[in-house]
Structure 1
Amino acid sequence: MNRKIKLLWDFRGPDAAETAKHHTIHLNEFATIENLTFHEIDIQEKNPMLFSAFITVDEKDMKIYRDALKPHRGEIA
């Protein structure tokens, strides 16, 4: 069974929500241009001053995304 990996980018401050939302556009563009699969692209709120943009990918594709996009962190989804 192939594990899913969630790659995350953290944004802090009063504009964090909008910045994270905008970042998801670029994640989607990258996946489309590179013809890569993914399961989900979205944002999550930790608190009003900390939002994360994330993409959930198959473990086999994780290194491609990681090396090209330099996420702040990753976790097993």
Structure 2
Amino acid sequence: MSKKIKLLWDFRGEDAKKTAEHHTIHLKEFATIENLTFHEIDVEEKNPMLFSAFIVVDETDMKIYRDALKPHRGEVA
């Protein structure tokens, strides 16, 4: 069983939540166009001025997502 990796993009400021929510649309589009699998795409709130859009993928697909989408950070899910 492969590890799951969570790739994150951070957005700051008054519009951070809306921007993160919009970014999830593009994450879903990319996965669909490239015919890639994922486990979850969502937004998480760190504080009212910092939101993160994220996608959880299998470790085997992580490099494809990382190289194409340039996440700000990643962590083991």
- Whether TM-score is above 0.5 comes out as yes
Distance in 1 separating the partners of 2:18 and 2:2:
32
Distance in 2 separating the partners of 1:26 and 1:69:
10
Alpha-carbon offset, residue 24 of structure 1: 0.1
TM-score by length of 1: 0.99
Identity %: 84
The equivalent of 1:71 in structure 2 is: 71
The equivalent of 1:18 in structure 2 is: 18
* 4+ long deviations beyond 6 Å: none
The equivalent of 2:7 in structure 1 is: 7
Runs of 5+ unmatched residues, structure 2:
none
Aligned CA-pair RMSD: 0.3
The equivalent of 1:61 in structure 2 is: 61
TM-score by length of 2: 0.99
